[in-house]
């Protein structure tokens, strides 16, 4: 599929990953996991968000979400994680951050990516050697496609299958297909530049043009891109319409 220009960055589907600070087991047992799920369920009533897939592990969680707009997604995740952090700190008589970051996000642009992301999320407990098959794990959406739903609803199924009922053959195809997509996970070192910029746009509700107009924000993003991602000087120059020498100067201003 042709690459979508960043200035035309648009999608309503996102793969979201949250992780415990210092990789702590912030979802260490059923009490904590079920509390997190109940908080998510509560805030789904307040925001135009639809969950298509999820999996809650001990120290991180994955979600595939449909959001009507980027601001709703950012606000939804902030409310959910803030609420859970208060619960977690109270339960453990502690203060401070609970999540490593607000959240990591990855845009999903087509059905192939969508299907592969669903399989990837459901396969997390198998990959971690917790269960032998996806259906054996209690805290993912795999079984919600056939049993009582916790977070999925008719719109979830409609967005995936084009109908409000689970398409059994399509469901099997999704989970048997050997897709070769790469998705964010806790083992990631440096983010890709595309994912980094996508997350900035998502969290701030801003376009590339908007970043360019805000000179201080632009400088910060350029510096962060060089330290946190695999971005080259040439790629930064092309993305922000600047010369390579200007990009180099911005990056080295921070070191003085």
Q: What are the pLDDT digits (tens) for 210-220? A: 899 999 999 98
Residue 92 has pLDDT above 60, yes or no: yes
Domain finish residue from 134, 158, 176 = 176
Give exposure, 138-152, as e/b (b: 16+ Cβ within 10 Å): ebbbbbbbeeeebbb
Specify if 114 maps to a domain: yes
**Binning pLDDT at 50, 70 and 90, where does residue 200 land?**
confident
Tally of structural domains, the chain:
2
- Please give the model's pTM, rounded to 2 decimal places: 0.69
Specify if 192 maps to a domain: no
Angle, vertex CA 17, rays to CA 15 and CA 21, nearest 5: 170
What CATH number is given to the structural domain containing 136? 3.30.70.1290
* Sign of torsion over alpha carbons 182, 184, 185, 189: positive
pLDDT tens string 239-252: 899 988 888 888 87
Identify whether residues 100 and 11 lie together within a single domain: yes
Identify whether residues 236 and 169 lie together within a single domain: no
Specify if 1 maps to a domain: no
Identify whether residues 75 and 147 lie together within a single domain: yes
Give dist(CA 25, CA 113) in Å, integer.
29
Identify whether residues 11 and 130 lie together within a single domain: yes
Residue 107 has pLDDT above 70, yes or no: yes
Specify if 231 maps to a domain: yes
Q: Inter-axis angle of helices 244-253 and 233-240, to 10 degrees?
A: 110
Identify whether residues 15 and 142 lie together within a single domain: yes
* pLDDT in the model for residue 140: 97
Specify if 191 maps to a domain: no
Identify whether residues 221 and 149 lie together within a single domain: no
Specify if 88 maps to a domain: yes
* pLDDT in the model for residue 190: 53
Domain finish residue from 176, 197, 231 = 176
**Residue ranges making up the domain that contains 216:** 206-253
Tell me the mean pLDDT in the region 179-207.
69
Identify whether residues 103 and 210 lie together within a single domain: no
Identify whether residues 54 and 132 lie together within a single domain: yes
Tell me the mean pLDDT in the region 86-101.
90
Identify whether residues 219 and 161 lie together within a single domain: no
**24 class by beta-carbon count within 10 Å (0-12 exposed, 13-18 middle, 19+ buried):** middle
Give dist(CA 113, CA 202) in Å, integer.
18
């Amino acid at each position: 599929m042709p690459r979508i220009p960043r200035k035309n960055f648009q999608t309503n589907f996102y793969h979201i990953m949250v992780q415990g600070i210092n990789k702590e087991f912030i979802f260490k047992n059923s009490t904590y996991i079920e509390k997190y799920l109940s908080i998510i369920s509560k805030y789904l009533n307040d925001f135009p968000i639809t969950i298509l897939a999820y999996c809650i592990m001990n120290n991180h969680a994955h979600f595939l979400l449909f959001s009507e707009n980027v601001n709703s997604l950012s606000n939804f995740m902030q409310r959910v994680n803030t609420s859970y952090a208060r619960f977690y700190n109270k339960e453990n008589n502690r203060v401070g951050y609970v999540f490593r970051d607000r959240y990591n996000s990855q845009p999903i642009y087509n059905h192939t990516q969508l299907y592969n992301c669903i399989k990837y999320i459901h396969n997390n407990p198998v990959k971690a050697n917790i269960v032998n098959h996806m259906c054996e794990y209690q805290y993912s959406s795999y079984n919600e496609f056939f049993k009582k739903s916790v977070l999925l609803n008719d719109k979830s199924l409609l967005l995936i299958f084009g109908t409000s009922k689970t398409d059994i053959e399509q469901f099997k195809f999704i989970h048997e297909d050997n897709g070769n997509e790469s998705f964010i996970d806790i083992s990631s070192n440096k983010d890709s530049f595309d994912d980094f910029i996508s997350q900035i746009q998502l969290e701030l509700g801003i376009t590339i043009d908007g970043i360019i107009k805000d000179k201080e924000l632009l400088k910060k993003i350029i510096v962060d891109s060089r330290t946190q991602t695999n971005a080259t000087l040439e790629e930064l120059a092309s993305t922000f319409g600047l010369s390579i020498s200007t990009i180099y100067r911005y990056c080295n201003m921070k070191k003085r």
